[in-house]
Amino acid sequence: MIPTDALAPVTASFSDDTWWIVLIKAVAIVVFLLVSVLFAIWFERKVVGRMQQRPGPNVHGPFGLLQSLADAMKLLVKEDMTVTAADKIVYVVAPMIAVFCSLLVFAVIPFGPMVNMFGVETPLQLTDFPVAVLYILACASVGVYGIVLGGWSSGSTYPLLGSVRSTAQVISYELAMGLSLVTVFVVAGSMSTSAIVTSQVGLWWIIPLFPAFLIYLVSMVGETNRLPFDLPEAEGELVSGYMTEYSSMKFAWFFLAEYINMLNVSAIATTLFLGGWRAPAPISLINDGMFNHGWWPVLWFVAKIWIFMFFFVWVRGSVLRFRYDQFMKIGWKVLIPVALGWVVFLGVFRGTDLFTDVPMRKILFALAGLLAVVVVVSMFLPERNKDAPPPPTGPKVYDPFAGGYPVPPMPGQVLPPSPRKQRLAEQAKATASVTAGPAGGDEIDSSNESSEVHGG
């Protein structure tokens, strides 16, 4: 599992790049991201439409492909309003921060190997350096300031609540994301993105680091504020969260930043866990890996990104939004402890590989086999008696006015009986007893009426 000297991770060389090559790469990345966002909006509507048994966009252009362009033009020419109570400068700068930080991430993402571009041998990557992944995490962290400042500067309650939620969300899920990426640094021996791709020549890291991949998969959904973790912009509670007071192009910038961040985290997952631009195993073996050279790797890289984009849409169309307490519980009580335990576990076996003759790959595969055996055995164990009565634990009655302000009950709690309801119930009971009269009274009255009728 640890790369040998022959397959040691090598950072891409940019020694032959000229200023115009760098400019071409930068423009190509921006164009790729903008076009991908337009396609992602159409793609999301189409997939969710099919999941809900409706066609989705199908009017503007063939298959509705121009619907995203029409929406962008609508936001461009829409009236731009500024809230009176807003902090004018921060109110305008906040969406710019969100967009610019999201555009910076792809600068260190490798799209492919060395290629010939207008007579210059250059890697399909804008730049790279030994701590490129830390640079990515820094850009993601600074980008959150756009959301926080946008909500704070709006001078309104709902945007402020959305920005506070975003702060808590980023702190919770970036910790788990960072811990999941530490294991990749350990096994790859580098934090350079191109070196990490090189280290996956024989084996993609998703196989031995599958627990870290699952942690990253959950964390990236929380990092991008997407369902079921879109608490900063929950329309059922906060109208539109931090974007409530924004309109026209400033709203479009936040919208653009969200979709670019989806592409960013998908590209990071592709680079660190799915071999980057390398073709899948059966295809990479054809003709001595001819599909891993030239411009073919761009196709594999983009295809892997859109697998993750489909995952985003699939989750949005099938999972409901979590409550805020559930959301924080997943981050602090599940993801972070599991990620930290996995880092310690992998660090122990990394040390075992350094100081013993047993390769870590064999150890990890043996542990994976042991885990599979445990799972299979647990499937055949007798199940617990589900019909057994639960322990007698009733709901807890509490005083909602104990803190001086009425608070709704939490799960497992019930309100005390209402005095007014008890009083009304007693009055109804008394009225019913008076109306019914003494026992047998109805029979006496009816017999008297009967005798009077016959006597008449």
Radius of gyration of the chain (CA): 31
Helices and strands in the chain, H and E counts: 16, 4
What is the pLDDT at residue 354?
Answer: 58
279: its two tokens: 């073709």
Pairwise CA distance, residues 177 & 194, whole Å: 20
pLDDT tens digits, residue range 130-155?
899 999 988 888 888 888 888 888 88
CA dihedral sign of residues 342, 223, 129, 302: positive
Closest by alpha carbon to 242, among 318, 105, 143, 135?
143
Which residues is 117 bridged to in the sheet? 120
Please say whether the beta carbons of 124 and 32 come within 8 A.
no
What is the pLDDT at residue 350?
Answer: 74
What is the pLDDT at residue 88?
Answer: 84
Pairwise CA distance, residues 51 & 29, whole Å: 31
Q: Report which of residues 238 and 6 the model is more confident about.
A: 238
Pairwise CA distance, residues 3 & 264, whole Å: 27
Pairwise CA distance, residues 270 & 267, whole Å: 5
pLDDT-derived band of residue 452, with 50, 70 and 90 as boundaries? Answer: very low
What is the pLDDT at residue 7?
Answer: 46
Which residues is 120 bridged to in the sheet? 117
What is the pLDDT at residue 449?
Answer: 44
pLDDT-derived band of residue 382, with 50, 70 and 90 as boundaries? Answer: low
First-to-last C-alpha distance (Å) of the chain: 111
Q: Which residue has the tokens 């350990």?
A: 186
Give whole-number Cα distances, 217 to 3, 47, 177, 335, 402, in Å. 25, 20, 9, 11, 42
Pairwise CA distance, residues 340 & 179, whole Å: 6
**Average pLDDT value for residue range 20-48:** 92
52 burial level (CB within 10 Å; 0-12, 13-18, 19+) = exposed
Pairwise CA distance, residues 14 & 122, whole Å: 6
pLDDT tens digits, residue range 240-275?
778 888 888 888 888 888 899 999 999 999 999 998
Q: Interior CA angle at 264 toward 332 and 92, to 5°?
A: 90
Inform me whether the pLDDT recorded for 83 exceeds 50.
Answer: yes
107: its two tokens: 């600068």
93 burial level (CB within 10 Å; 0-12, 13-18, 19+) = middle
**Cis bond before residue 123 (omega within 30° of 0):** no
Please say whether the beta carbons of 191 and 282 come within 8 A.
no
Residue 422's contacts (CB-CB under 8 Å, 6 or more residues apart) are: none
Closest by alpha carbon to 194, among 129, 120, 290?
129
CA dihedral sign of residues 186, 189, 191, 193: negative
**Average pLDDT value for residue range 53-61:** 86
Q: Which secondary-structure segment (H or E) carries 113?
A: strand 112-117
